[in-house]
Structure 1
Amino acid sequence: MSGDLEIDHGGAIAVDTEAMRDVGRRMTSLASHLEEARDAVMRARGIIVGAPGFAEQVDVGALEASRDRIGALRSEVDEASIGTLLMADAFEIVELRAEAEALAHTDAAAAAALEARIDRMVAADARIGAMADQLVAQWENERFEGLDTQWDMGELLPPFFTIGAFIGTTARLGHVLPGMTLKGDVEPVSVTTVKSSTPDAPPATLRGAFERMPKDASAQVAVEKLRFDDGSTKYMVYLKGTQNFVPWQAGGPEPWDMKSNAELYTGEKSASYQAVIDALHAAGAESGDTIGVVAHSQAGMIAVHMAMESSFDVEFVATAGSPTVGTFRDDQLAVQILHTDDVVGSMSGGGSPAGSGSPDSFIATRVADPNPGIQDLALAPHRFEPYLETAEMIDESDDPRAVALDDYWTRLGEAVSVERTEYHAERIR
């Protein structure tokens, strides 16, 4: 597995703001305890020195050295605490700016109120604004790492591998904000069952979830209905990426094609999106039912819009190589995997500098294919297999958010039965 894995709450945000503030407050508390310990050592020294003949029995110099070490440690903890709280404020500035940008589409007054709050925070301490700017600038410099080092036939190829990044950053279509719903008419599709089965258990790892993509070559969607002891149900849906890349066949029977890619990226309803909704209904899901979505490539765009606008209660989203990223609710667990050298994934503009979703949500990035070669022409970093490797790296990570993801698999594992159906969809002509 190549490339170091990075897990962040958002592109420019290492951890959830409140989690960082909690660390800062604990460090402040530790500093006060260290000061108490330093005072205790000083009192002990005073007692020893004041007692006749006692000083000759105790190494007063060692006590003084301990006092000095504790004092120095307290100063270090104080400095670290101040820096941590400042960084939390900088993270909040990044988050507030992103939130204000999102609200500008739906609530101009609320966006203006956030901008005023940002101005007050920056006015109170100019360091906060500068740190926020630096965080975003660093993220912008690193978000497409690896794209410019892919194979170009000795500079004979045009800048093909940076096209996605150019589109993502200039068109600004790769970040779906609240209120941005799919528009246009729905193309009619037919959804038919390919096969049904009863797996022993739901997925227990992130890689295991991605590996539950439809097994049959003709199926694009798999839906699993999970039943629990209390009579409740949940649905997990697994969505393949683009199945037909041929431009002149776009709009044909295959809904997972370049026509749907273009439609979803530009905010239009696609046959593939409608096929997923129809497949869920065919599996028994109704409006308000709890859904988890696992998706690769084009299907990542479907997953984003399902989470943000469908009638289902989407509690979990895992995307790999999606050309768009979403703005998820605070109660939605979102795992977004992006290879920074993935041309398709770069159309998201590198993701978002701020996080969204629950505090345990995260964006995982790495360079999937750092060695230039002819495989770059086949978009090797975007292929499903490298994303499976990244999912496995997340499973093995000791990052607290990756560890917290295990809680979701544990809850799914409480299901007493699983009914799985794979579906094939076609446009109706």
Structure 2
Amino acid sequence: MGDEITITSGAVVQVDTASLRRAAARVAVDAEGIRGAAERVARAGEALFDAWAVPEARGLAHRCGDAASRLSTAADRLDELGGDLRTAADTYELAELRAQWLSAGDAGDGSRTREGIEERIVVLARRLLGDEQIADADAAWHALARARIELAGRTPRSLEAQVGFVAALAGGIGGALWAGAAMAALRGAIALHTSARGTAAPRAVPPSPRAATVAPAWTAPARPPTGLAAAARRIPGGDAARVRVERYDLPGGRREWMVYVAGTQSAKLGGADPFDMRSNLQLYSGEGAASVDAVRAAMDAAGVAPGEAVHLATHSQGAMIGVALAGADPDVRTLITFGSPVPAEVAPDVLAIDVRHADDPVAALAGPAPVAAQGSSGSVQVSRVVDPLPHLGDATLPAHHMEAYVETARLVEASADPRLAEIERLWQRLGDAERVTRTDFSAARGSLSPASPSAAG
């Protein structure tokens, strides 16, 4: 586990392309090593099979064959992951080069600087598109734009095959093993789409007729969170609750609210649970989703009134919901996101705390950094590498798990970084509350059945 964190001012996603390429090289070495192990195990099985007269030898030979096949499959998956990492590095670099090219023109640096940038753009475009006929930077950008249009034109139905990795968010290694195959196409769509525009599209989702209902699963007194890690632990997940709303009765009759939003809970493309793959696709496309409606319904049911400050703590799909709400609701004053698949694009008066892991493939879906910092002057972006060495356990996306983000939040608190002053003031203000009431809500697209209390802290 990596304990080094990077804190920067403003909710900006920063990607080190050199680190991505080094990771790709390490993955290639590991893939070759695993493939060699598969060959040795297969040879051992063949030798055992020659001793067919011994029953135990036959059984061991079959097991060796199965093990060799699994190792070979794992090596193939690592090869795919290495290719995805190289593709990501190239597409992120393209976005950076575009910004450098524009800056060179604005600064009047002359044609020499731009010529060097254009030569590199041609190299990357040829490699990404597999088109050696691209002659110059102008042709490269036109080719990339055509690829972006083709990718952007895909329907949600055709995207379903590319995003099976989200099954891992709902649990199960089977769904996670689709991650490598899905990431290349989806990351390509994101990076080409973003690099061609320079900035990501606004993520505000306007109010729509409610497509989800909620029911209180648990109501009880609570204590204010003492810091970022305590807030992270309260995000629902793994039980019936999808949204947790805390009401803070402050001195002088004022009220403020903390709203905690779960990530993806179902790999289905529709069904009773609104926190599913369908909502993922809709939110990522900038559309409305039933899970957004569920959070709005929970806030209404809890009694959130216009003009009362709302602070959001979110994970994964919940982070996309938070970005959507922050873009549409002026009462959202704070947005805390863990592992968000989209950039934390919020208004200048919103405090944005964006926490993401550099080795979290879901967070990588946010694409290249926005041109300008997002959020208020006290906003920060936190990054950490959870596990720098690739291994077979990466198939379960450990860097995206909420437990890993809780540990990162703990490290943030321990850093005592002065840029965290504004979020610390929030915890102090909420700590002055005369009464705190917690309500956990279950959610459904259809009718709700009785739910059990949330286990969130």
Report whether the alignment pairs 1:304 with 2:228. no
Name 1:426's counterpart in structure 2.
444
Poorly superposed stretches of 4+, deviation over 6 Å: 173-176
Report the alpha carbon displacement of residue 411 of structure 1 after superposing the two structures with TM.
Answer: 1.0
Name 1:333's counterpart in structure 2.
351
Name 1:372's counterpart in structure 2.
390
Report whether the alignment pairs 1:191 with 2:214. yes
Map residues 282-321 of structure 1 onto 2, 5 A cutoff: 282-310=301-329, 312-321=330-339
Contact 1:244 1:256 in 2 (8 A): yes
Contact 1:321 1:337 in 2 (8 A): yes
Report the alpha carbon displacement of residue 157 of structure 1 after superposing the two structures with TM.
Answer: 6.1
SS at match of 1:230: helix
Report whether the alignment pairs 1:342 with 2:360. yes
Name 1:125's counterpart in structure 2.
none
Report the alpha carbon displacement of residue 145 of structure 1 after superposing the two structures with TM.
Answer: 8.0
Deviation readout 1:51-107 (Å, 9 max, x if unpaired): xxxxxxxxxxxxxxxxxxxxxxxxxxxxxxxxxxxxxxxxxxxxxxxxxxxxxxxxx
Contact 1:222 1:239 in 2 (8 A): yes
Task: Provide the rounded CA distance (Å) in 1 between the counterparts of 2:12 and 2:298.
Answer: 37
Name 1:269's counterpart in structure 2.
288
Task: Provide the rounded CA distance (Å) in 2 between the counterparts of 1:354 and 1:143.
Answer: 23
Name 2:234's counterpart in structure 1.
212
Task: Provide the rounded CA distance (Å) in 1 between the counterparts of 2:265 and 2:244.
Answer: 15
Task: Provide the rounded CA distance (Å) in 2 between the counterparts of 1:295 and 1:332.
Answer: 15
Name 2:43's counterpart in structure 1.
none
Map residues 1-150 of structure 1 onto 2, 5 A cutoff: 1-10=1-10, 146=23, 149=26
Name 1:238's counterpart in structure 2.
260
Report whether the alignment pairs 1:397 with 2:424. no
Structure 2 unaligned residues grouped into runs of 5+: 28-74, 86-183, 448-457
Report the alpha carbon displacement of residue 401 of structure 1 after superposing the two structures with TM.
Answer: 1.1
Task: Provide the rounded CA distance (Å) in 1 between the counterparts of 2:269 and 2:15.
Answer: 39
Name 1:43's counterpart in structure 2.
none
Contact 2:190 2:365 in 1 (8 A): yes
Report the alpha carbon displacement of residue 398 of structure 1 after superposing the two structures with TM.
Answer: 2.9
Report whether the alignment pairs 1:255 with 2:281. no
Report the alpha carbon displacement of residue 305 of structure 1 after superposing the two structures with TM.
Answer: 1.1
Name 1:168's counterpart in structure 2.
190
Deviation readout 1:285-325 (Å, 9 max, x if unpaired): 12332100000000100101111112x51111100000112
Name 1:417's counterpart in structure 2.
435
SS at match of 2:365: helix
Larger radius of gyration: 1
Residue from 274, 297, 303 that aligns with 1:278: 297
Deviation readout 1:24-63 (Å, 9 max, x if unpaired): xxxxxxxxxxxxxxxxxxxxxxxxxxxxxxxxxxxxxxxx
Report the alpha carbon displacement of residue 405 of structure 1 after superposing the two structures with TM.
Answer: 2.5
Task: Provide the rounded CA distance (Å) in 2 between the counterparts of 1:391 and 1:252.
Answer: 33
Contact 1:143 1:340 in 2 (8 A): no
Name 2:104's counterpart in structure 1.
none
Report the alpha carbon displacement of residue 219 of structure 1 after superposing the two structures with TM.
Answer: 0.7
Report the alpha carbon displacement of residue 428 of structure 1 after superposing the two structures with TM.
Answer: 2.2
Task: Provide the rounded CA distance (Å) in 2 between the counterparts of 1:149 and 1:11.
Answer: 30
Report the alpha carbon displacement of residue 177 of structure 1 after superposing the two structures with TM.
Answer: 5.8
Report whether the alignment pairs 1:387 with 2:410. no
The one-letter code matched in structure 2 to 1:223 is V
SS at match of 2:389: coil
Contact 1:320 1:337 in 2 (8 A): yes
Contact 2:203 2:323 in 1 (8 A): no
Task: Provide the rounded CA distance (Å) in 2 between the counterparts of 1:347 and 1:388.
Answer: 21
Task: Provide the rounded CA distance (Å) in 1 between the counterparts of 2:384 and 2:209.
Answer: 36
CA RMSD of superposed structures (Å) = 3.0
TM-score (norm 1): 0.64
Task: Provide the rounded CA distance (Å) in 2 between the counterparts of 1:202 and 1:5.
Answer: 25
Contact 1:165 1:350 in 2 (8 A): no
Name 2:102's counterpart in structure 1.
none
The one-letter code matched in structure 1 to 2:328 is E
Contact 2:243 2:260 in 1 (8 A): yes
Contact 1:6 1:366 in 2 (8 A): yes
Deviation readout 1:130-170 (Å, 9 max, x if unpaired): xxxxxxx9856568985775586552667456555433312
Task: Provide the rounded CA distance (Å) in 1 between the counterparts of 2:6 and 2:293.
Answer: 34
Moved more, 255-264 or 349-358: 349-358
SS at match of 2:251: coil
Structure 1 unaligned residues grouped into runs of 5+: 14-136
Higher helix share: 2
Name 2:44's counterpart in structure 1.
none
SS at match of 2:79: coil
The one-letter code matched in structure 2 to 1:315 is R
SS at match of 2:247: strand
Report the alpha carbon displacement of residue 334 of structure 1 after superposing the two structures with TM.
Answer: 0.7
SS at match of 2:287: coil
Report the alpha carbon displacement of residue 172 of structure 1 after superposing the two structures with TM.
Answer: 2.8
Q: Calculate percent identity across the aligned residue pairs.
A: 32
Q: In structure 2, do the counterparts of structure 1 residues 351 and 412 end up closer, same or farther at CA, with 3 Å as the change threshold? A: farther
Residue from 79, 86, 94 that aligns with 1:155: 79
Contact 1:339 1:366 in 2 (8 A): yes
Report the alpha carbon displacement of residue 392 of structure 1 after superposing the two structures with TM.
Answer: 0.8
SS at match of 1:218: coil
Task: Provide the rounded CA distance (Å) in 1 between the counterparts of 2:321 and 2:21.
Answer: 23
Task: Provide the rounded CA distance (Å) in 1 between the counterparts of 2:304 and 2:210.
Answer: 21
Name 1:224's counterpart in structure 2.
246
